[in-house]
Chain A
Amino acid sequence: MSNSLLSLAGVNVFYGEFQALFDLSFDVRVGECVALVGSNGAGKSTLLKAIAGLMSPRSGTVSLRGDSIGGIGAETVVKKGVALVPEGRRLFPSLTVEENLLMGAQAKRGGPWSLERIYQLFPNIAERRRNLGGALSGGQQQMVAIGRALMTNPDLLLCDEISLGLAPVVVRELYERLATIRAEGMAVVIVEQDIGQASKVATKLYCLRSGRVVLEGSPASLSRQQITEAYFGLETTAHGHP
């Protein structure tokens, strides 16, 4: 499809001898918001890492706008327009907020995102720009992490569990910002354990379990029960008991 941005087909990823992803296929269209749900250990982070180039698939293809990016290093994948906001934020503790953001600019991709725009988007962190990365609250750190990824001016933003450990009001604020980011036309993949939140923002949803896609479709067309079943791997009777 001409507006296909990212396409994975038959991807198998291993940690040593342990297989984490099995024959996985995954698509993201330009401007789309795709949610990836699943319990711990389902393979969601692994999938994002494989797309971002931190891990190499043993087989299968990963294509960005038709060009294969499977197996090339993360530092090159970023330059092609894919940015990952990693699980746990992983800010650089020895660097200030501003320096953390400037690190994103090392990818040297032109685009609309600059320090000023990031500070406009996240006023909280603008006032803390000289603080060390480690000296912020969880929500502020998450904003810096997202800002840092935006500074690479990606076409595709991968967000790994950005709501983890944050208060609901902070999570709402983050997702509002995400909506602003999306309004520019950026494609976003969000990994979420909160199915409700994921269904609200995404136009397509994948559910992973034990390294396989067990459900995919638009949130509108999938019932909550279907998603829950796929998530937990339960076959339910009409009364909802296993």
Chain B
Amino acid sequence: MAILEVIVQAMMLGGLYALFAAGLALVFGVMRIVNLAHGDFIVMAGFLALLVIWAVPVHPFVSLLIVIPAMAAIGYVLQRGLLNRIVGADPMAPLLVTFGLSILIQNALLQAFSGDTRKLQGGAIETSSMSIGGTSVGHYPILVFVVAVGVIWGLQTLFYKTRLGYVLRATSDDAQTVRLMGVDNRHVYAVASALAFAVISVAGVLMAVRTNFDPTLGPARLLTAFEVVIIGGLGSFWGALIGGMVLGLAQAIGARIDPGIQMLVGHIVFLFVLLVRPNGLWPKVGH
């Protein structure tokens, strides 16, 4: 059934895109900066997983045990060492620095791994499927979707129901006043970054198992994450899921009509939402 296939495709794309967006939204929410190298870090996670698997032949999902902490550490150091210097009133500096970083990472990956496309081997789960109403529905799309919902739920809970959550929100509200409570805002920013990088790792590996990837695919991921955040609404994790689903659905339908216009349909839907609902479909609600 064509509709079911489209929905399944939308769930997979939507889940993946929601994960791309969640990391971006987290960093922007706490630190008010957008990391233009966001997409390149997603790709980097894929390559990191590749390295781990070359060293120890394990399933890509198992490699996450190393990739997640490694990426989180990279995120912490990057924020603390580099990006903390440019958090502040001037919006241009973070843009230019992270853009330079994006070029740097893409080409460092190119230099190290060459431009060949790669793919992580996920084994049976990539193609296994179940039958629903006579149509075969892949397990992988469902898995991606479930993981995305889980991660978003986790972030939401973390932010609104835990101590780290209110410290993050307070730092986002007023970084100077949190210092009056003994909280080192530079450390909090770095923790937020580490958290975002952990999410990026999961997204990167899930992507790398499903599709071919190469060092130059970063910018496309950034644009996707950005469109999801705008469609879903700034400041809300569930918004990232909704935005992801909307974009995923648009692209799935586009791909169905003609694979060549998949991305274009997504962009057009994005522009439409921007025009009609500039604050997104699910803007920040609070608790």
Contacts and interface: CB of A to CB of B under 8 A. Distances in A.
Classify A-B as touching or not with yes or no (CB < 8 A). yes
Contacts of A95: 166, 169-170, 173
A152 B182 contact: yes
B167 interface: yes
A68 interface: no
A200 interface: no
Contacts of A102: 163, 166
B183 interface: yes
A75 B184 contact: yes
Interface residues of A, number: 30
A107 B174 contact: no
Interface of A: 52-54, 73-76, 78-79, 83-84, 86, 90, 92-96, 99-100, 102-104, 106-108, 132, 148-149, 152
A148 B178 CA distance: 11
Given A92-B174, A103-B167, A54 B182 contact: no
A201 B181 CA distance: 26
Given A94-B286, A95-B173, A103 B184 contact: no
17 contacts: A53-B179, A54-B176, A75-B179, A75-B183, A78-B179, A83-B180, A84-B180, A86-B180, A94-B169, A94-B172, A94-B173, A102-B166, A103-B166, A103-B181, A106-B182, A107-B181, A132-B286
Given A107-B181, A107-B182, 18 more contacts: A54-B180, A73-B179, A74-B179, A76-B182, A78-B180, A79-B182, A86-B177, A86-B180, A92-B177, A94-B172, A94-B286, A95-B173, A99-B166, A102-B163, A103-B166, A103-B178, A149-B180, A152-B181
Interface of B: 163, 166-167, 169-170, 172-174, 176-185, 286-287
A137 B180 CA distance: 23
Identify the 8 closest CB pairs spanning chains A and B, nearest first. Answer: A107-B182, A74-B179, A78-B182, A99-B166, A92-B173, A92-B170, A94-B169, A90-B177
A86 B181 CA distance: 11
Nearest to B166: A99
Nearest to A104: B181
A240 to B, nearest CB: 42
A86 B166 CA distance: 20
Given A79-B182, A102-B166, A93 B176 contact: no
B174 A90 contact: yes
B266 to A, nearest CB: 32
Chain A CB within 10 Å, residue with most, of B174, B179, B182: B182
B51 to A, nearest CB: 37
A54 B179 CA distance: 8
Nearest to A74: B179
Contacts of B179: 53-54, 73-75, 78
A93 B180 contact: no
A220 to B, nearest CB: 33
A86 B178 CA distance: 11
A52 B182 CA distance: 11
Contacts of B176: 54, 74
A54 B180 CA distance: 8
Chain A CB within 10 Å, residue with most, of B172, B177, B184: B177
B181 A78 contact: yes
A133 to B, nearest CB: 8
A106 B286 contact: no
Contacts of B185: 75
Contacts of A79: 182
Contacts of B172: 94
A113 to B, nearest CB: 13
A74 B166 CA distance: 20
Nearest to B170: A92
A76 B286 CA distance: 31
Chain A CB within 10 Å, residue with most, of B163, B166, B183, B286: B166
A99 B172 CA distance: 14
A106 B167 contact: yes
Contacts of B180: 52, 54, 74, 78, 83-84, 86, 149
A17 B178 CA distance: 27
Chain B CB within 10 Å, residue with most, of A95, A103, A107: A103
Contacts of B184: 73, 75
Contacts of B166: 95, 99, 102-103
A172 B76 CA distance: 48
B182 A108 contact: yes
Contacts of B163: 102
